[in-house]
Amino acid sequence: TPVTLGATCFLLYYGIFHCGIFDLAPVARNLIFNSMRDAVLILDTQNRLLDFNPAAQAMLPTLRKRLVGQDAAFLLSDSPDVVKALLPGDRPSEFTVGQDDRTHSYEARTWPLVGQGGKEGSRPVGRAVIFSDVTAQVRLREELRRQSETDALTGIANRRRFHQALEIECLRFSRGRAPLSVLMIDLDHFKEVNDRYGHPAGDTVLCNVAQLLLASLRKTDLLARYGGEEFAVLLPETRMEGALVIAERIRKAVGCTPVAVDDECIQISVSVGVASHSN
């Protein structure tokens, strides 16, 4: 008994003062791990699931503690984007889960976990995959992109978006010789509308004309506000004959539809220019 008590006291002394068995660090680490807002998955070198925090279970409801030790790719086979994000890599990857209003965007980062290998030095023992919810940032980015490519008054594409699409279609034409046509539309005597009825009425006319133009075009065509009262239409894979038909349809639609503003009916007409490039 004295020998056993002596050995026990020596081990307790070594554990307390050298190993810190009563230290709060392990408790603090566990508390922080469980309270993190970011989802965390701990994997070993063979891609087996070792641990996860409550945020990860909220993100991936299929996770259960009894599944620890199994292959992570197999456990998350219903979420291919998540499985792809689990692949080792130095750069963060971004993916989206859900549909419609329940869509959430996540950024996945991988941190290597290393252990002490004695004389051999540190060696990898696994990795931590952290999923950060970046839905707000992604939505803000998409909204800024949309605003940068949309005309604020009419809600259609702006001049910048038109030039981007035109450049892409020109590249397609140079490679595959696909026909391409462009319409330039100008409202006739629009200055007289502003002078007689005021600029608010002129804005109403522009918005109504934009809607008429959209109704006269195909889904594959791109309508943009090119200038003050000028509109441009990109017609992919359209020859001159087809572009002329669309231009005439636009001219008739606008000419036959007066715009009502403050009990006044404003008659509008347009001039349409057509350019085409084909084999």
Using DSSP, state whether 76 is helix, strand or coil. Answer: coil
| Rg of the chain, C-alpha, whole Å | 32
- Match 């009894």 to its residue by tokens: 66
Q: Is 149 a known active-site residue? A: no
Residue from 229, 230, 237, 241 carrying the catalytic annotation: 229
173 backbone dihedrals φ, ψ, rounded to 5°: -65, -40
Q: List residues with catalytic annotation.
A: 229
